[in-house]
Amino acid sequence: MTHQTNQIDPVRFEVVWHRLLDITEEMGIKYMRTSGSPILVGAYDASTGITLPDGQLVAMGPYITTQAHVLGLIVSAVSSSRSTHPRIGVGDMFICNDPYLGATHQPDVATVAPVHHQGELRAWVGASGHWLDIGGSEPGGFHMNARSVFDEGLRLPPTRLVEGGQIREDIVDLIMAQIREPLAELDLRGQLVANQVGRDRLLAIADEFGPDLLTGVMQQGIDQVERRLRERLHTLPDGVWREVQYLDHDGHERNIRKIVCTVVKQGGRLTLDFAGSDPQVDGFANCAYGGLRAAALSAVCIVLGYDLTWNDGMARCVEIRAPRGSVVTAEHPTPVSMSTISAIIVTLNLVVVALSRMLLTSPRHHREAMASWCGTSLGVSMVGLNSNGTFTVAPEASHFAAGCGARSYADGVDTGGIIINTTANIPSVEATEDAYPVMYMFRRQLTDSGGPGRFRGGVSAEVAIVPYDSSGPLATSFAGVGSVTPNAIGVAGGLPGATVRYLRYLGTRHLLGNRAQATLPGSQAGIRGQLTVGELNSSKVRFDTDTIEYHNWQGGGGFGDPLDRDPQQVLADLRADLVSRPQAEHVYGVVLTTDGDVLTVDPEQTGRHRDELRRQRLRRARPYREAHPLTVPAPAQRAGRTGRWRYWDIVEIDLALDRVSCLQCGHVLGRSSVDFRAGCLAEEVATWTAGPVRGEQYVREQERPVVLRLFYCPCCGRQLEADLVIPGQPGPTFAVTGAATDGEGTGRHG
């Protein structure tokens, strides 16, 4: 078979290539509209894709990136499974949700279909999406009490679901017999529709342009992305960047587990090494290798391939190394059902921050750097009986409106979405109340939840819900991590966003009273009842009409020293209720005064107050190198150490003179071969120093399992970095080891 990868007319290539991209989007639309699931229609928690016959991802739909990145692994698992013997037939489709074969976690069920043209396998299409229930002991798919994968409900190896174009209804019945929510069958049928649409559209292209041209376009599309990403990598300095992040709950109890990633960039290649990550746990917070790969590649696509088609051309530029049996490479039969909202999302944000720090050394690309977005996600399910007495699993998916990370030139987007969802959306309050026996007290943006910085992280939101019009009591399951650790990390001195919080107010029946005349609370301050702090990963908690359940999720990380933020921007945030007055004064150092009824900034007092805050930093802090020796991983090579960079506008790194200096005041912090943190003053402070809702309701003052390690220039007191660390343990670090190999990556930022 001859592929026309070198002879394709550019116009014909673009026509066919964009047809492929359109196909993946159309597949998703057909899938979601057929399903009708609120988690799909309301939050787009799904993905679609096209792969080559060997599983290389050609194109993904504009949906959840991590689910798309596992489709190739599912194809490989299908191709090597017993279900495909003696052959993969025309018109077949296969279903799989086994996390040890590639799926992110069991509720994200994938179906894939081969595309044959005149009997020859030319491609695969696939659809993956989050099902509302997957059986097992816990409704909703997150199994809080799991000690092994056998506690986590239905796990499907590659199984032939459609044979020769005919749905195997016996297999459908077998699957649905394990699942509480009968509407989940529409999820399954929707995926089959999506795959049929994808297959039909690809065959139409093959008929119109020829099958060899279709194959050639797919291969060339992957090759082009690989070439362009390698070219981009060559414009960046070589170096080593190490990041550390934490899971604060293993599914059974609060335990801090670290995830470590060392990024080595050399020429046109990246190595992501997860050595040093903690061993797997017997709770469901782990992820398997497929989840790790999906997280890492999603981060590379988002940060480095923002203007490229996201496919496996990028994967060719990346080597992922990870020890077996770690919290990010869990092995059978370790439970993993919470992986998407724990190890996977935390790992993704970890790699995003590492790559962003790399971009900050480039005058060409530093504007693409960003702080961590909402550092974790949530799995909130309410189960019980609807008003008509039918069983229901009601997801609360407002957390898809998460705070975005601040950028090197602008604030993060408020309630803008989770980083892996390229088409951000959340279910409307009205649609949720119409479908399920609940009523919202409020859903509103959460003041002070964005990470402080010169550019503020996007704020997240908060919701309060009460059962309403149910024919029986409901029960709530609340899965997640990030109540103690603020995982939305800041960059270049920016502070982290808010943590997760789950609260219950008991004895609130009086708030509804006469429903026609009831005045519902519009904020947390308006709720009157007995407050209890809910524990994450609590299972089947009784939820009746005498209770209001409240939760919020993490905001985005900040960018730059908060004392460098324009005071007028702080005032605007205050007026918009995005920042409180205490936060404005104590964290941003802005002095406010009242002119009549109008709140204004006092510029002179603000300047003096900020100078005093910087002096206080220097009085409190101690030399970092004395307290915490910092070891930079040995680079692959140090030959040709020339060039000069700015790390954003924080420090200047001069390889020729072997020194790094503060850009604010010119103070020399140390040698260029050592992370600039080693020449800083540092102090370790409570996470809630960055603002309220940073773990203070879950951690006693004397505990502090994690702290913020703040780094200051010893001369001017500017905050250069703010790392989340376990007290006394090493944190993030980096070292530039060589010039950009294209000769254009050095110099000062404009």
**Listed range (154-163, 348-357, 625-634, 729-738) with the worst mean pLDDT:** 625-634
Statement: residue 633 has pLDDT above 60: no
Statement: residue 748 has pLDDT above 50: no
**215, 314 Cβ separation under 8 angstroms:** no
**25, 233 Cβ separation under 8 angstroms:** no
- Structure confidence at residue 82 as a pLDDT band (50, 70, 90): confident
Q: Which helix (H) or strand (E) holds 650?
A: none
Cα–Cα distance, 207 to 201 (Å, whole number) = 10
Burial class (CB within 10 angstroms; exposed 0-12, middle 13-18, buried 19+) of 433: middle
Statement: residue 628 has pLDDT above 70: no
Q: Region 494-519: what's the mean pLDDT?
A: 84
Instruction: Say which residue the tokens 């957390």 belong to.
Output: 399
Strand ordering across the sheet containing 644-647: 644-647, 651-654, 659-662, 668-670
Provide the percentage of residues in the chain whose pLDDT is more than 90.
79
**298, 318 Cβ separation under 8 angstroms:** no
Closest to 192 in 3D by CA, of 167, 221, 174, 214: 167
Q: Give the per-residue pLDDT at 641.
A: 54
Q: Give the per-residue pLDDT at 570.
A: 98
- Structure confidence at residue 6 as a pLDDT band (50, 70, 90): low
Any idea what the Cα angle at residue 200 is, between residues 194 and 206, rounded to 5°?
140
**Listed range (106-120, 455-469, 651-665) with the worst mean pLDDT:** 651-665
Q: Give the per-residue pLDDT at 657.
A: 87
* DSSP code, position 447: T
Backbone phi and psi for residue 348, each to the nearest 5 degrees, phi listed first: -60, -50
* Neighbouring C-beta atoms of residue 581, cutoff 10 Å: 11
Cα–Cα distance, 429 to 204 (Å, whole number) = 41
Q: Provide the residue type at 386 as one letter.
A: N
* DSSP code, position 419: T
At 244, list the tokens.
Answer: 């550390």
Closest to 681 in 3D by CA, of 727, 716, 726: 716
At 499, list the tokens.
Answer: 């943590």
Q: Which H, E and C letters describe 229-255, residue by residue?
A: HHHHHHCCCEEEEEEEEEECCCCCCCC
Q: Give the per-residue pLDDT at 27.
A: 99
Q: Give the per-residue pLDDT at 290.
A: 98
H helical segments located in 386-539: 429-435, 509-512
At 458, list the tokens.
Answer: 């996007």
Closest to 340 in 3D by CA, of 295, 382, 297: 295
633 vs 16, more confident: 16
Cα atoms in the Cβ-side hemisphere of radius 13 Å centred on 236? 30
Statement: residue 639 has pLDDT above 50: no
Q: Give the per-residue pLDDT at 515.
A: 61
**Listed range (3-17, 230-244, 316-330, 709-723) with the worst mean pLDDT:** 3-17
List residues bridging with 686 in a β-sheet.
none
Burial class (CB within 10 angstroms; exposed 0-12, middle 13-18, buried 19+) of 708: buried
Cα–Cα distance, 697 to 436 (Å, whole number) = 30
Q: Region 482-508: what's the mean pLDDT?
A: 96
List residues bridging with 127 in a β-sheet.
48, 111
- Structure confidence at residue 701 as a pLDDT band (50, 70, 90): low
**Listed range (13-27, 523-537, 629-643, 689-703) with the worst mean pLDDT:** 629-643
* Neighbouring C-beta atoms of residue 568, cutoff 10 Å: 12
* Neighbouring C-beta atoms of residue 518, cutoff 10 Å: 10
Q: Give the per-residue pLDDT at 635.
A: 43
pLDDT digits 0-9 by tens, 510-541: 777 666 566 788 999 999 899 999 989 988 89
Provide the percentage of residues in the chain whose pLDDT is more than 70.
94
Burial class (CB within 10 angstroms; exposed 0-12, middle 13-18, buried 19+) of 172: middle
Helices 289-304 and 343-359 cross at an angle (nearest 10°) of 30
Q: Region 98-113: what's the mean pLDDT?
A: 97
Q: Which of 139-143, 363-367, 496-500 ranks highest by mean pLDDT? A: 496-500
Distance of CA 655 to CAs 357, 644, 658, 671, Å?
18, 6, 5, 9
CA quadruple 271, 272, 276, 278: dihedral sign:
negative
Average pLDDT, the chain: 92
Beta strands in 349-500, from DSSP E residues, in sequence order: 378-385, 391-395, 438-445, 461-467, 474-480
Backbone phi and psi for residue 705, each to the nearest 5 degrees, phi listed first: -65, -25
List residues bridging with 121 in a β-sheet.
116
At 510, list the tokens.
Answer: 């009086």
**Listed range (32-46, 73-87, 237-251, 570-584) with the worst mean pLDDT:** 73-87
Any idea what the Cα angle at residue 571 is, between residues 460 and 368, rounded to 5°?
55
Cα–Cα distance, 422 to 425 (Å, whole number) = 9
- Structure confidence at residue 197 as a pLDDT band (50, 70, 90): very high
Q: Give the per-residue pLDDT at 389.
A: 84
Statement: residue 11 has pLDDT above 80: yes
Cα–Cα distance, 346 to 328 (Å, whole number) = 10
pTM: 0.95
Q: Give the per-residue pLDDT at 750.
A: 37
- Structure confidence at residue 214 as a pLDDT band (50, 70, 90): very high
Closest to 249 in 3D by CA, of 353, 327, 349: 327
Statement: residue 47 has pLDDT above 80: yes
Closest to 714 in 3D by CA, of 670, 673, 679: 679
**Listed range (106-120, 136-150, 248-262, 562-576) with the worst mean pLDDT:** 136-150
Closest to 221 in 3D by CA, of 49, 51, 17: 17
Q: Region 71-88: what's the mean pLDDT?
A: 89
At 220, list the tokens.
Answer: 């060339």
- Structure confidence at residue 595 as a pLDDT band (50, 70, 90): confident
Burial class (CB within 10 angstroms; exposed 0-12, middle 13-18, buried 19+) of 256: middle
